[in-house]
Structure 1
């Protein structure tokens, strides 16, 4: 197990250290814009964030993924690796973390808009090929608008973007 974890930037990293590095580099506002976690928005403090993230597994995984793929800029996980939690993933020998990706509030908004548009176009193309004309099930218009307005709440969207 230790051999597998040697190539994981999260191995041995305390949550406090991770949050401190992220806040020092990005600031609370950018972290909130990128991750949409209220612990980065309402009276943000290191102690409150750590307490929330220790209690909330899905939020901690979101922060760990952000740390790995935006801050350390590690290569994207394969499908098999993606099934594992971020702390359990390893990387090939010789792959080293790179400089953090610089983000601004505008860049985060653009990335979120692009991800939403990609998600909607994927759903539109998937939906049109699944059903024959007139065979499409009726949907509640309010729930459809809610899914488009906030794709992170959509159970069909596991990425939360």
Structure 2
């Protein structure tokens, strides 16, 4: 029977130590440091120092996990743009208010004509792009 709580994450259940060990065995410290240029891989590298650094710095851990996924031909996570787009609800009014505020600060002498809908009915198309 299918487990409804099963994760689709290919890294689910893998320890960070296992991921680092695998990458070091595959690439070696020098090549790993060239692929991901972070000090814990380039200067006096060790599993312990790498674990400490990667647990504190999500941006670096993301790079290591991404390399592990690519190296093992596993499904890659969605990009940040895809994640943001999937999480957004189609509510244009709050976005327009924020955009108008920013536009007003950036160009206080600009007339309010940019807030009027264009011929096709899109507000602030120059800011948000094609919808």
Q: Deviations over 1:115-154 (max 9, x none)?
A: xxxxxxxxxxxxxxxxxxxxxxxxxxxxxxxxxxxxxxxx
Q: Which runs of 5+ in 2 are unaligned?
A: 85-131
Normalised TM-score (structure 1) = 0.45
Number of corresponding residues: 81
Q: 2:108 maps to what in 1? A: none
CA RMSD of aligned residues (A): 2.4
Q: 2:122 maps to what in 1? A: none
Q: Which runs of 5+ in 1 are unaligned?
A: 85-161
**Which protein has the larger Cα radius of gyration, Structure 1 or Structure 2?**
2
Q: 2:66 maps to what in 1? A: 65
Q: 2:47 maps to what in 1? A: 46
Structure 1 residues 4-83: aligned runs within 5 Å: 5=7, 7-69=8-70, 71-78=71-78, 82-83=82-83
Normalised TM-score (structure 2) = 0.54
**Displacement over 3 Å in runs of 4+:** 75-82
Tell me: higher relative CO, structure 1 or 2? Use CA pairs within 8 A at least 6 residues apart: 1
